[in-house]
Amino acid sequence: MAVDPVIRRAGWRNHLTHRFRHVALALGLLVVAPQAAADLTQGELLAGACGGCHGHAGVSTAASMPSIAGFDRRYGARVLREFRSGVRFSTIMGRLMAGYTPGEMAQLAAYYSEQPWQGANFTADPALAARGLRIHEARCEECHEQHGRYQDRDMPRTAGQQPEYLRMQLFARRDHPEGMQQPRRMREAIAALSDEDIIALSHFLASQE
């Protein structure tokens, strides 16, 4: 049976449109992939100034410094912008970020987000870790899910960080909440913790991988 020429032309146009979309998508990927690779390369170069504190590829070995390898890139970029603007206070980070553009901060965050996470390899006191687990499940787990392993654009990973860093952060957030970026629920949860609770919680979190 003969096919109406109009239908044949319409079918051919649909075929061409379909093929064009595939070609456009492929070209788009070809453009995006080199750009992403370039961002990572540039981010690695920029990260040279960070390793002294945060360790090689973002894996900290310093007691008071956090590991940043594997962090969500959106969270990382936002934190860097906040250091630059002064919303998040840090004498060192504020001065460092003043020399970076928003694009460079995004490249830094992208680079560190692609680095493999490594925990602190900390052996906790069993009794303190057990107490810390109970505290975490009662006061922290609702937001910091998976025993602190969960992370997203608004939530950093807390599991596996250096114990001294965790203690410092928890004490600072409890004792000087006015100078900290933290939601109301976190302020309320930390305010009720004793010194011993904070030490136990840091033991538990640092021991998690």
Residue ranges of the annotated binding site for heme c are 50, 53-54, 93, 140, 143-144, 186
Query: Count of alpha carbons within 13 Å of 15, Cβ hemisphere only?
Result: 6
CB 149 within 8 A of CB 159: yes
Residue 78 CA: distances (Å) to CA of 24, 50, 114, 184:
32, 17, 17, 19
**Of 163, 209, 201, 206, nearest in space to 70 by CA:** 209
Residue 104 CA: distances (Å) to CA of 6, 39, 101:
54, 9, 5
CA 173 to mean position of chain CA atoms: 19
State the Cα–Cα distance between residues 88 and 136, nearest whole angstrom: 25
Positions at the binding site: 50, 53-54, 93, 140, 143-144, 186
